[in-house]
């Protein structure tokens, strides 16, 4: 009888049994390795995120990010996106996120009434930037990242995630503005800090739900908007109800951020936290390109509004007035002083650098 055909010994049976058990155990380990995904694919972490923007604008400023994130999360997490005022009013966004009604927010600090001293710099801080690229540079190299993190670190149950730039601030109206005197009495939908500054020239900032603005201009409740640049005005329909666009801009870029409820944030794995941060950065890049190209194209090719300007002599006075306004904000607290000092330092560097950073 050949060696291969020898009857098995008891110890052979034991060996085979051991191998089978090891094989089964290895399969179990492999299955366990995929278990978190298998589980999360049917039970993903779910977030509710509300943006400051209405749906037409949101299609650019956040929707691509959320769609990309949900795809990249691969079943482990899903973000449900809500637009302006869909779950809570915009001025209640911060509190709603803090108490966990919603998990995350995209907004500027001022519009959503953040209870921090630096909230006045969210949105449009008059003449603080010339171009959209100024904003991320200020955060990365001039200390604003650390200041924002410090401020929100003092607020319970809120995580500040990331800041980025949006469009420049122009004024769009039904009647023309060709001098500072023309601003007087015009009721505009506007962001808080810039609205406060412009009110010294007679402009009247009005707060209304985002989706009501177009009708309010049509009915005469509003005379225009001081909220955005050309790209948004055309995208959301405000260029259809405004007849004039003032070329003198008050700020080169809107400052907005992403925030999250701390409990919701801490439930994410480090990988999901990093994925969300990456998606925010991708969104910042998307907006920078969309706005930069859109602003130029619509100023040159847009036909819906007549372009007007305030004479340089008058506008130079507005720029000078902003220095006084900066000091008013700096006096709020030692931290707001640090923000203003950072802007001053940055402006000085850009002016000295000259072309292409500053042309005049």
Its sign, for the CA torsion 123, 129, 133, 139, is negative
Average pLDDT per consecutive 10 residues, the chain (360 residues; last block may be shorter): 45 45 40 40 89 96 98 97 96 96 97 96 96 97 98 98 97 98 96 94 94 96 97 97 97 97 98 98 97 96 98 96 97 98 97 90
Residue of 291, 254, 286, 282 lying closest to 108 (CA atoms) = 254
Region at 124 (left for phi over 0; alpha for psi -120 to 50; beta for the rest): beta
- pLDDT for 334 equals 98
- pLDDT for 4 equals 44
Residue of 250, 88, 285 lying closest to 171 (CA atoms) = 250
- pLDDT for 39 equals 39
- pLDDT for 32 equals 37
- pLDDT for 25 equals 43
- pLDDT for 41 equals 59
- pLDDT for 128 equals 96
Written as six digits, the tokens of 43 are 């039970």
Q: Which domains does the chain have, with CATH numbers?
A: 43-166+255-293 (3.40.190.170), 169-253+306-353 (3.40.190.170)
């Amino acid at each position: 009888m050949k060696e291969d055909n020898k009857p098995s010994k008891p110890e052979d049976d034991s060996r085979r049994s051991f191998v089978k058990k090891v094989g089964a155990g290895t399969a179990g380990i492999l299955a366990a390795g995929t278990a978190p995904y298998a589980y999360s694919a049917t039970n993903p972490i779910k977030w509710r995120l509300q943006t400051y923007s209405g749906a037409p604008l949101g299609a650019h400023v956040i929707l691509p990010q959320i769609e990309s994130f949900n795809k990249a999360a691969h079943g482990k997490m899903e973000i449900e996106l809500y637009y302006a005022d869909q779950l809570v009013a915009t001025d209640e966004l911060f509190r709603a996120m803090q108490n966990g009604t919603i998990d995350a927010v995209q907004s500027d600090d001022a519009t959503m009434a953040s209870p921090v001293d630096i909230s006045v710099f969210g949105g449009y801080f008059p003449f603080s930037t010339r171009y959209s690229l100024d904003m991320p540079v200020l955060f990365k190299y001039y200390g604003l990242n650390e200041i924002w993190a410090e401020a929100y670190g003092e607020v319970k149950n809120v995580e500040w995630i990331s800041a980025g730039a949006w469009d420049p601030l122009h004024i769009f109206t039904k009647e023309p503005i060709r001098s500072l005197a023309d601003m007087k009495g015009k009721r505009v939908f506007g962001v808080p800090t810039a609205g406060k500054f412009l009110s010294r020239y007679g402009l009247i900032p009005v707060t209304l739900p985002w989706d009501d603005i177009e009708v309010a201009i049509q009915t005469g409740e509003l005379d225009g908007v001081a909220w955005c640049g050309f790209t948004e005005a055309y995208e959301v329909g405000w260029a259809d109800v405004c007849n004039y666009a003032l070329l003198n801009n008050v700020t080169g870029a809107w400052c907005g951020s992403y925030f999250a409820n701390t409990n919701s944030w801490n439930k994410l794995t480090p990988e999901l936290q990093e994925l969300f941060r990456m998606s925010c950065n991708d969104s910042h890049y998307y907006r920078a390109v969309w706005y930069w190209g859109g602003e130029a194209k619509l100023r040159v090719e847009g036909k819906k509004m007549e372009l007007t300007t305030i004479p340089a002599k008058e506008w130079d006075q507005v720029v000078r007035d902003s220095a006084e306004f900066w000091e008013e904000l700096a006096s709020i607290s030692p931290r707001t002083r640090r923000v203003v000092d950072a802007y001053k330092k940055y402006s000085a560097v850009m002016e000295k650098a000259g072309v292409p950073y500053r042309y005049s």
